[in-house]
Amino acid sequence: MNDYFDNWTVQVRKGLLDLCVLQALAEREQYGYELVKHLVALPGMGVTEGTLYPLLSRLRVQGLVRTRLEESPEGPARKYYALTEEGRRALVLMKAYLEKLNAVATRDRNPGGRP
């Protein structure tokens, strides 16, 4: 049963990863290292840096985020990520959908408990 649940959570986490990235960027613009550290630290997500960078690149290619490079005196140049308008709209739709889905999926269709 645990294996089954583990597999299911992997699927859920994979599905939610895009949403988590967009949500993190909805709050403010962040540079790559900072963003990745934040996402890796999210409890229950179990995501690694190796997974996040390809995802960020794909979101950029799809036009949901935009990037810019900024030189840093403290180390390598920082690559900042921000949401595009389309990314913002997609986030709204995702959240609405998730909310609706959650409500539909977890709704008790027989509150009285009778079969």
Partner 1 sequence: MITWTPAARAEWERFVARPRPDLATSGADALEVLEDLRRHVEFEAATAGLQTLTAEDVRRLLTRLGPVEPAPEITTPAPSARGEPSLRRAPALWLALLGVVLPALTLLIELTTGMCAATFFDPVPTLGHVLLAAFVPVANGVALYTILRRDARRRTALSWANAFALGVTLFYATLFLPLLLPGLLTVVFFGWGLLPLSPLLAVVATLFIRNHLRRLGTGLDDPLPGGWRGLALAALAVALAEAPSWITRSALRLAVSDVPAEQRRGLAWLRALGDTDILLRECYGRTRGAQEMDLVAWLITGGPRVTPERAREVYYRVTGTPFNAVPAPRVRTARGAFAALNEWTWDTDQGGEQVGGRVKGLSLHASRLDAVVEPDAVVAYWEWVLEFRNSSAQAREARAQILLPPGGVVSRLTLWVNGEEREAAFAGRAQTRQAYQEVAIRQRRDPVLVTTAGPDRVLMQCFPVPADGGLMRVRLGVTAPLPLTAADAATLRWPCFAERNFTIAEDFRHALWVESPGELRPLGPELRAEQPRPGFAAARGQVREDALANGVCQVRLARPAGVNRVWTADSRSDRGGYVTGTFTATRPFQPSRVVLVLDGSRPMASAWPDVATALDGLPANSEIALLFAGDEPTVLADAAVLDATQRTALRSQVAALRAAGGRDNVPALMRAWELVAEKPDAAIVWVHAAQPVLLSSAEALIQAYGRRSRGPRVFSVQTKPGPNRVLEQFDGIPAVQSVTRRGSLAEDLRQLFQGWSADQATLRLELEHVNEQPVAEPGLREASPHLARLWASAEARRLHAAKKTEAAVRLAAAYQLVTPASGAVVLETQEQYDRHGLQPADPMMVPAIPEPRTASLLICAAAVWLLLKRRRHTA
> Contact positions toward partner 1, by CB under 8 A?
14, 17-18, 32-33, 36, 48-51, 53-58, 60-62, 74-77, 79, 86, 89-90, 93, 96-97, 100-101, 104
- The nearer residue to partner 1, 38 or 79, going by C-beta atoms, is 79
- The nearer residue to partner 1, 9 or 62, going by C-beta atoms, is 62
Residue 87 and residue 25: Cα distance in Å, rounded?
10
- The nearer residue to partner 1, 54 or 115, going by C-beta atoms, is 54
Q: In the complex, what is the shortest distance from the CB of residue 112 to partner 1, in angstroms, rounded to a whole number?
A: 24
* Partner residues linked to 80 by β-bridges: 31, 68
Residue 107 and residue 1: Cα distance in Å, rounded?
23
Q: In the complex, what is the shortest distance from the CB of residue 82 to partner 1, in angstroms, rounded to a whole number?
A: 16
Q: In the complex, what is the shortest distance from the CB of residue 114 to partner 1, in angstroms, rounded to a whole number?
A: 26
> Beta strand pairing status for 65-70 and 78-83?
antiparallel
Residue 60, phi-psi category: left (phi > 0), alpha (psi -120 to 50), beta (remainder):
alpha
- The nearer residue to partner 1, 1 or 10, going by C-beta atoms, is 10
Percent helix, strand, coil in the chain, to 5, is: 60, 10, 30
